[in-house]
Structure 1
């Protein structure tokens, strides 16, 4: 068969398909036009008066009107949910969290919390609180743990601390004298304490003795911090702050590490001592202006706790970091006995423990900025006063009291008995909220909410009129007429110093020009 014949056969084979397609298109076109023509003729005949009524076609019935029925409340709510899906999801999530936390808190609140007892009724568990007895937090926690059946030892570094512990008038709250600054003496004190734990004890005579078990070491650093601009804090104040608020807690834990890593209890006892570290968390979470001491120390303690946790984890010694919010210390204000006052005695801003919230609420500002140099007051004064009086300053929420101490006591007991194994626990009003704010909210927005505004006008730098005064050089023990003259000038500078205070790290004659320098507290 030739190629021409094959092409002719292909054309013939394709004709049925083309004819079917073309005929379908023609039929559809005719149907559409015939239907339109029929409708047009029907309408014309129905409207013509000369057509008899008997054969006149009837027009199609008019369309039925759509009636709007009133919707029920359920349908309205369902329609609102369908139009606000994101908001509905957020509301459901928040409601679920609130319900869960409420149920959990109510369940934990009904839990019976009591320490173990020996068969003869004696106390078995020992807790060491390494915190100043002047702090209401130390006092309240000691009384609560003693009431729950623990033998509580409070670390005392001075005879005054021992007197404060004895003033609590509880036989099972005892001082544990340790001189942290003297490592050999501290080691001897820890060794005597270990021998006490290993010795058999009897609650009453002629009963079977039992051994004591160290359950936890609780570290409570100082909660009082200076509040002022960094420019007005002298280096000596930073040195004292790091020694008392940072170095002392670290040395305390270091002194107890040999006791924690040694097996003191009998071989049948599987309980291991726990380490609990308290730190204020509100300021260190948001790092607001004028809180450099607290933010620095608390951040350093948090980092130290993380390292301590990593080192003790292989030894199966749990470390729990309890981040504190604001508490109501109305029943534990230092007003009696040796707990007269723990507010900072310096002229800088501290924490007034006589107010609700105790050591975690700032005291009234008063004339705080009046003791600053003129330049510092001009640059920082307005923002400092505004920030200190804001509704969220220093973690306090205006019009709200702190959380109940019962929440903190329950959290500590749950950590000691092992029911709460979380590495980090936030307790107290504002602890969780400020942690969220510090992690997700921009710092600029937080500062703006606290009243911090831009300072447009800065003070002009003023240089001193004289240089080389002997007061700015080390004394050689000698003297001359020139030195006497300079001393006379220095007395004039002393009068100026009396107006501005004592400055460090710069030549004193610069004070004449109201230099931007530190000021001693």
Structure 2
């Protein structure tokens, strides 16, 4: 082989090697391009930039509040002050609202209320007098001549006794018939006046549950249980049954006023009062369901009473020298306003709490363990015992001073 031929072969080998390297390089570049470039033609079009969703109202408000913190604090303070002021204004206006029963065109009274229960109790007397003062014709159910005499001694023209003898069903039905005739006939206030009818607004039940005998269950005799249940529970149920047809005919209301603090805590020695309260509560609840099921239009409202300031009771305690309670009681006016509003309301509430402690003690009795309730009752009992001991010491001291005065007089 000549030198020229050898040189030509070497050059061709070198060129083939370079060409092979270039081909491998292009193959590598092409493989990388195939990986980077999408296969579909639509993928070559650039997607528009993603838009964020518009901010919500809450986000706009929070961003504005963050930018204007001083103004936000001023607005919040103004809103809180305005809300509190509005609430106080509404409460004062509600408390000072003029509450008067309706009258006929001639100015005569037309709304009638019957009050039954503990006729001579301070609470029942206060409620009856207030209803009469607000323009109702109030009939108080009585069962004896003494109760009639007491009602007439109050000297109110439209506060009248309504004799009801529950022990004699025939007499009670006859007495109720006279009351129904009174509601059914026309009345004339004076000569020439336009006749009007009386409207039966409601039956107010005020059983004297607080006067139930105290004592351990084993200490109460069967006769005491029988007398107590007949006088305070069965009489209330019988009175409601007696007036039920009249209540349905006039679509009137039933109001039950019962103390709630003692039944809520259920202290020992008060089994009689707790039993009466539970029975009356079950009775009114069942009656309310029956009246609603029958679409009679009769509504039942239970008043759970707390600590009320009854003026006659407070005055008696002061005369007897009893120390004033450190806890301020709720004025009786709140109960009177609630009773009036319930009688004239179209849809009264099924339950109302009136008086300090009516809600608090109810929650404590329902939630707190019995040990906590017993501890609270023991504190109250110790305070009562210390007050009684102090009163006894004062009485002993006063008696001793009187004795010394008598000795001085003798000398």
Q: TM-score range by the shorter chain?
A: 0.5 to 0.7
Structure 2 Cα separation of the partners of residues 419 and 325 of structure 1 = 25
Partner of 1:234: 221
Shift of 1:439: 2.1
User: CA, structure 1 residues 163+98, in 2 after alignment: closer, same or farther (shift >3 Å)?
Assistant: farther
Question: Residue 289 in 1 paired to residue 276 in 2?
Answer: no
Shift of 1:226: 2.1
Structure 2 Cα separation of the partners of residues 172 and 224 of structure 1 = 28
Question: Residue 217 in 1 paired to residue 203 in 2?
Answer: yes
User: CA, structure 1 residues 415+258, in 2 after alignment: closer, same or farther (shift >3 Å)?
Assistant: same
Shift of 1:160: 0.6
Shift of 1:96: 12
Structure 2 Cα separation of the partners of residues 188 and 112 of structure 1 = 38
Structure 2 Cα separation of the partners of residues 355 and 283 of structure 1 = 21
TM-score of the aligned structures, taking structure 2 as reference length = 0.68
Question: Residue 122 in 1 paired to residue 108 in 2?
Answer: yes
Equivalent residue for 1:305, pick from 284, 301, 307: 284
Equivalent residue for 2:240, pick from 242, 253, 256: 253
Structure 2 Cα separation of the partners of residues 244 and 100 of structure 1 = 47
Q: SS at the partner of 1:133?
A: coil
Structure 2 Cα separation of the partners of residues 103 and 202 of structure 1 = 42
Shift of 1:302: 0.8
Partner of 1:328: 309
Question: Residue 355 in 1 paired to residue 334 in 2?
Answer: no
Structure 2 Cα separation of the partners of residues 398 and 102 of structure 1 = 27
Q: SS at the partner of 2:114?
A: strand
Deviation per CA, 1:237-279: give whole Å up to 9, x if none.
111111111111111101101111225xxxxxxxx31111111
Structure 2 Cα separation of the partners of residues 218 and 254 of structure 1 = 13
Equivalent residue for 1:168, pick from 154, 167, 176: 154
Shift of 1:435: 1.5
- The structure number with the bigger radius of gyration is 2
Normalized per residue, which structure has more helix? Answer: 2
Structure 1: state its 5+ residue gaps. Answer: 1-7, 17-73, 79-92, 264-271, 336-353, 357-362, 365-395, 453-521
Partner of 1:280: 259
TM-score of the aligned structures, taking structure 1 as reference length = 0.54
Shift of 1:110: 2.2
Structure 1 Cα separation of the partners of residues 237 and 363 of structure 2 = 28
Count of equivalent residues: 308
Partner of 2:173: 187
Shift of 1:397: 10
Structure 2: state its 5+ residue gaps. Answer: 1-23, 33-68, 74-79, 380-411
Structure 1 Cα separation of the partners of residues 233 and 324 of structure 2 = 27
CA contact (8 A) 1:132 1:155 kept: no
Deviating beyond 6 angstroms after TM superposition, the runs of 4 or more aligned structure 1 residues are 95-101
Deviation per CA, 1:112-164: give whole Å up to 9, x if none.
10111111111111010012321111111111111111100000011111000
CA contact (8 A) 2:185 2:197 kept: yes
Partner of 2:349: 422
Structure 2 Cα separation of the partners of residues 410 and 227 of structure 1 = 32
CA contact (8 A) 1:414 1:420 kept: no
